[in-house]
Every structure is written in structure tokens, then in C-alpha cells.
């Protein structure tokens, strides 16, 4: 007896929604009851990361573009076929992810996907047209949000449909200031907004001029190279990430952000001032920022971050500069629990990055810091960091409980690279010297490469 097939239709659809789209479609062969069930699944996730990885690994190894173009065509046909057969009244999640550039003549297809998702009153919409493993910041050839789609969203029907949107993530989708403003002003349930690699974005306002505050809690702006201004007035915002190159600087104004607990600033500004916006961060608990060791200029005064528990600092480049400016940042965090320093040095350029000022550094006894982590602890970076920073930490972080030394380099995108053998051997030697000076109360952790 097939008891499962006797369950209510809605419950069977709920079961299928826990599967991938392709797995759900395969259940159509089970019996007559299951033939059309997959056509009602509310979660349409068209992401196939393993296939994308395989395709691009083959391309990088062979240089043959034909298989990529063929798989791109298959992907577009797959999405179109599913949408043609779909019978559900609404869509909770719509996620399209593949490398689709303008030259593939896919803009018309993507327009129809967008129309479909909005007409089904989608709650979570994600369009990601990046190439797997491509770290290029050039968004040329990415999908351009069409004027026709935008006009439809301004009609009474379109306005009614987008009101249900809760999460919007656009990667390698070129959008204008006006389009994002339209979403922000007309999506009263929008809690997450992420925009990546959009060259059309120049001036970005969040909640400026709105009659009531947005429920927006999560905001990411990544590699939008033409961006000049960001104005944020969002009392419900809990996380903000800004990442990209801004050669001419960027005007970031943040106010009424009393709920903000996480702030990531991966921006690299030439000539290299460390970018800490002047705002009140009463509840900020985690802060991440990066600076170029060759050019860094820290602000003289830093607003005290009374609630900060975790500080992560990415050190780019390598030089013999002594950068004392990081000490006031730490000093402005009286409740700091974990300090992570992530080095990114180049041995070929005589890397010897010293992020502390040696014997002339001001002593700063701190009882709150319990965990210190250093990644990129290899080569001459390990030598200098071991000599200066760790000595300083052991003298001043008097209640330190754990020290993590990782020879691998961890990038801001989360990618991890093993150190070359010679550099790793230097790290091992530094660690052996350090062990003799390490108090018994401090646990030494060395992650395995």
C-alpha cells in the first residue's frame, strides 16, 4: 500500500520543496499522483554549483569555450522549460545562478524570468550571473535590468506584486539608482538587499525621505566601482557590508543605525586611508576592515565602540612601515574579546610587514581580550609578526586564553590558500621559538593545512 501518495496535495508539495528541482521532477515517474506535483513546488532554485565548477575547471585547463556555451544554452533551456510547465500560484524563492553574458543573447530570457518571479509575488529573489571562480571585478557584459521590466514594476499590478518581496540579491546585474530606490520605496517587507558588480549604481540612498522606516536588516554593496555616495538611514539595520575599489573615495553617511551589530568594510581606497565612518555604533559587536600596509593612514580620533566583541583586520600588501594606528582602534574597544589579524603578504616583494611599532609602542594592558588569531603567519610576515605583535600581545593582553597561528592566507571572500613550503617552514621555526615564551595559561592552536 502506497500511504505517502494518499497524503494531501499541499503536504506532498511541501515534501518535494525539500528536494532540489531536478530531484523533485524525477518523482513524476513514481505514479499518476506524482506526475504534476513538482510543478507546484514554491522554491525554484536553479543553482547547480557542482556543474558550474566542473565546466569552468575544464575551461581554465583547456581554454575551449564551446562546452561553456553549450552548457549555458542548456541552462537557459532548462529554466525556460520549468517556468513553462509551472502551475503554482506563488513562488517563495527564485534563484537563477549561471554565467550569462550579453553576448549569449539571453537578456530576453532573463527579462521573462524576472517577469515570472514578480508576477508570482516572489518573496526571495536572487539573480547571480557570475562565472564560477572568476575573481575579476569587471562587470562588462553583465545582464542590464531592462527598462521594460522597470516600467512594469511601476504599474499598479507590478507595484502590487513586488510588495511581497523580502529578500533581493543581484550579482552581475546592472541596476540604476532609480531602480534600487523603487524597490526600497515599494517593498514594505524587504529585509535583505545585496547588490554586487553593478556599474550603474552611483548614488545609493537607503530610507532617505521615506515616510516610515524600512524593515531592512541586511545590506551588502560589493564591487560597484562607479559608486560615489551611500546614505543610510535605517533603524532596523543589523548588518552592513561595503566592499570594492574606490579610487576617488566614497562619501558614506550613516545615521539612525542604532540596531547595527555587524559592520564589514573591505574597501580599498587610494592612497589608503583606513575608512571608519563617523557614526554612533552603540550596539556594534563585530567589525571587519582592511588596510594597505604600504599606504595606511588611520584617523586620529576614533569613536569608542563599547559593545564590540570581535575585531578582524585584513592587512594588504607588505612593507617595512610601522603602523601604530591600529593600537587606538583596539583601545577604542573596551569589551573586545577576539582580535583577528589576517596578513596578505608577497614574499617576492620582500614582505616584512610590521603592523606594530616595535619598542616605541605604547603599552596598553587589556583584560577583555581572550582570543588572538593571526592568519598568513608564514615567511617573513611570521618573523616580524612573531617578533613584534605576539610579544606585544603576550605583554599586554594579560588574560589571554587562546592563541591561533595559521600559516594559510584567508581572503576577504573566504578563500583559503596554503603557504608555499619555504614560508611554511619559517612559520614552524617561529612557532617553536614562541612556545618557550608562551605562558601555560595560553592555549596554542595551529590549524592543519
pLDDT of 376-432, one tens digit each?
888 877 777 666 778 888 888 999 999 999 888 877 767 778 888 888 888 888 888
Highest-pLDDT range among 11-15, 29-33, 168-172, 377-381:
168-172
The full DSSP string for 198-263 is -TT--EEEESTT-SS-----EEEEE--TT--EEEEE-TT--EEEEEEE-TT--EEEEES-TT--EE
pLDDT of 39-67, one tens digit each?
899 999 998 777 777 776 776 777 777 77
- Short-list 159, 283, 167, CA closest to 217: 167
Task: Report phi then psi at 169, rounded to 5.
Answer: -125, 120
Note the pLDDT of residue 277.
Answer: 63
pLDDT of 64-109, one tens digit each?
777 777 888 888 999 999 999 999 999 999 999 887 655 556 788 9
3-state secondary structure of 97: strand
Which has more confidence, 314 or 54? 314
- Short-list 270, 271, 402, 374, CA closest to 314: 374
Task: Tell me what the pLDDT averaged over the chain comes to.
Answer: 82
pLDDT of 288-304, one tens digit each?
988 766 666 666 667 78
Average pLDDT of 142-160?
A: 90
Cβ neighbours around 12 below 10 Å, total: 19
Which has more confidence, 179 or 212? 179
Cβ neighbours around 361 below 10 Å, total: 17
Average pLDDT of 166-181?
A: 93
Amino acid at each position: 500500500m502506497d500511504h505517502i501518495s494518499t497524503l494531501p496535495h499541499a503536504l506532498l508539495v511541501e515534501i518535494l520543496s525539500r528536494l532540489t528541482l531536478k530531484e523533485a521532477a524525477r518523482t513524476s515517474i513514481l505514479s499518476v499522483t506524482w506526475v504534476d506535483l513538482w510543478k507546484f513546488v514554491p522554491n525554484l532554485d536553479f543553482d547547480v554549483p557542482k556543474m558550474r565548477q566542473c565546466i569552468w575547471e575544464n575551461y581554465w585547463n583547456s581554454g575551449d569555450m564551446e562546452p561553456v556555451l553549450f552548457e549555458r544554452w542548456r541552462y537557459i533551456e532548462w529554466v525556460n522549460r520549468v517556468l513553462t510547465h509551472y502551475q503554482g500560484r506563488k513562488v517563495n524563492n527564485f534563484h537563477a545562478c549561471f554565467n550569462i553574458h550579453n553576448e549569449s543573447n539571453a537578456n530576453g530570457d532573463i527579462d521573462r524570468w524576472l517577469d515570472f518571479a514578480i508576477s508570482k509575488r516572489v518573496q526571495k529573489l536572487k539573480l547571480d550571473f557570475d562565472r564560477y571562480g572568476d575573481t575579476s571585478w569587471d562587470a562588462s557584459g553583465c545582464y542590464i535590468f531592462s527598462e521594460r521590466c522597470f516600467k512594469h514594476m511601476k504599474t499598479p499590478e507590478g507595484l502590487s506584486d513586488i510588495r511581497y518581496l523580502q529578500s533581493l540579491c543581484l550579482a552581475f546585474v546592472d541596476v540604476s539608482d532609480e531602480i534600487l530606490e523603487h524597490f526600497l520605496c515599494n517593498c514594505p517587507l524587504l529585509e535583505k538587499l545585496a547588490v554586487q558588480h553593478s556599474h550603474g549604481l552611483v548614488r545609493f540612498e537607503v530610507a532617505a525621505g521615506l515616510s516610515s522606516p524600512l524593515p531592512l536588516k541586511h545590506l551588502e554593496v560589493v564591487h560597484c566601482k562607479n559608486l560615489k555616495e551611500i546614505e543610510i538611514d535605517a533603524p532596523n539595520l543589523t548588518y552592513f557590508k561595503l566592499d570594492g575599489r574606490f579610487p576617488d573615495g566614497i562619501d558614506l553617511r550613516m545615521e539612525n543605525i542604532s540596531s547595527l551589530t555587524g559592520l564589514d568594510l573591505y574597501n580599498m581606497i587610494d592612497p589608503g586611508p583606513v575608512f571608519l565612518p563617523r557614526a554612533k555604533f552603540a550596539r556594534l559587536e563585530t567589525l571587519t576592515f582592511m588596510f594597505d600596509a604600504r599606504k595606511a593612514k588611520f584617523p586620529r580620533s576614533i569613536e569608542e565602540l563599547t559593545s564590540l566583541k570581535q575585531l578582524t583586520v585584513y592587512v594588504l600588501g607588505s612593507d617595512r612601515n610601522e603602523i601604530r594606528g591600529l593600537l587606538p582602534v583596539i583601545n577604542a574597544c573596551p569589551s573586545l574579546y577576539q582580535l583577528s589579524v589576517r596578513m596578505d603578504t608577497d614574499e617576492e616583494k620582500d614582505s616584512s610587514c610590521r603592523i606594530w611599532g616595535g619598542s616605541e609602542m605604547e603599552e596598553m594592558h587589556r583584560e577583555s581580550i581572550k582570543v588572538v588569531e593571526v592568519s598568513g603567519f608564514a615567511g617573513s610576515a611570521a618573523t616580524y609578526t612573531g617578533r613584534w605583535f605576539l610579544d606585544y600581545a603576550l605583554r599586554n593582553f594579560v588574560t589571554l586564553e587562546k592563541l591561533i597561528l595559521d600559516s594559510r592566507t584567508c581572503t576577504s571572500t573566504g578563500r583559503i590558500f596554503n603557504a608555499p613550503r619555504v614560508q611554511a617552514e619559517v612559520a614552524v621555526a617561529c612557532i617553536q621559538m614562541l612556545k618557550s615564551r608562551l605562558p601555560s595559561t595560553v592555549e596554542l592552536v595551529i590549524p592543519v593545512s
